[in-house]
């Protein structure tokens, strides 16, 4: 559910950010899911599972520290995910060109942060639903 909601929210956000005089919102709303869906499913989801496992192994005494660490970890995973994408696509030495990779890397971070925020929101929602069922 988190993955599907992330794809939808990312498509909407990225389309709003990207629209310009040449290409409208309608164009991007059709294009972004084509590119974002495989990346989120094949790179983002496995990185999310790995991060959740690693974070579950750490005993956090402060909930704010846990949330901050989780969001920061996902942002780093967004950067890592985009560099994995660049490598798979055969970017070669262009991967080292900061100006060339910055925009797509920021989109990777946006997708990762949306993913973790949606995931945390769903966790809260389902915990609240479960408590209501028990009462």
For 4-59, how does the pLDDT look when each residue is reduced to its tens digit (9 = 90+)?
999 999 999 999 999 988 898 999 999 999 989 999 999 999 999 999 999 999 99
Whether residue 21 is contained in a domain is answered as no
The tally of domains found in the chain comes to 1
Domain for residue 41, yes or no? yes
* pLDDT of 130 higher than 80: no
Segments forming the whole domain that contains residue 97: 37-134
Instruction: Report the pLDDT averaged over residues 88-113.
Output: 84
Q: Is residue 25 part of a domain?
A: no
Q: Per-residue pLDDT averaged across 67-78, rounded? A: 95
pLDDT given for residue 92 in this prediction: 72
- Distance separating alpha carbons of residues 43 and 61, to the nearest angstrom: 30
Domain assignment present for 127: yes
pTM of the model: 0.85
């Amino acid at each position: 559910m988190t993955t599907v909601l992330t794809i939808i929210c990312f498509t909407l956000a990225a389309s709003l950010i990207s629209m310009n005089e040449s290409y409208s919102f309608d164009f991007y709303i059709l294009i972004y899911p084509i590119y974002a869906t495989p990346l989120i499913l094949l790179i983002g989801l496995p990185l999310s599972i790995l991060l959740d496992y690693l974070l579950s192994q750490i005993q956090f005494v402060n909930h704010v520290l846990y949330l901050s660490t989780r969001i920061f970890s996902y942002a780093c995973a967004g950067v890592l995910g985009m560099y994995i994408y660049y490598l798979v696509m055969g970017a070669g030495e262009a991967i080292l060109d900061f100006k060339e990779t910055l925009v797509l890397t920021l989109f990777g971070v946006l997708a990762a942060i949306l993913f973790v925020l949606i995931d945390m929101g769903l966790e809260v929602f389902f915990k609240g639903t479960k408590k209501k069922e028990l009462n």
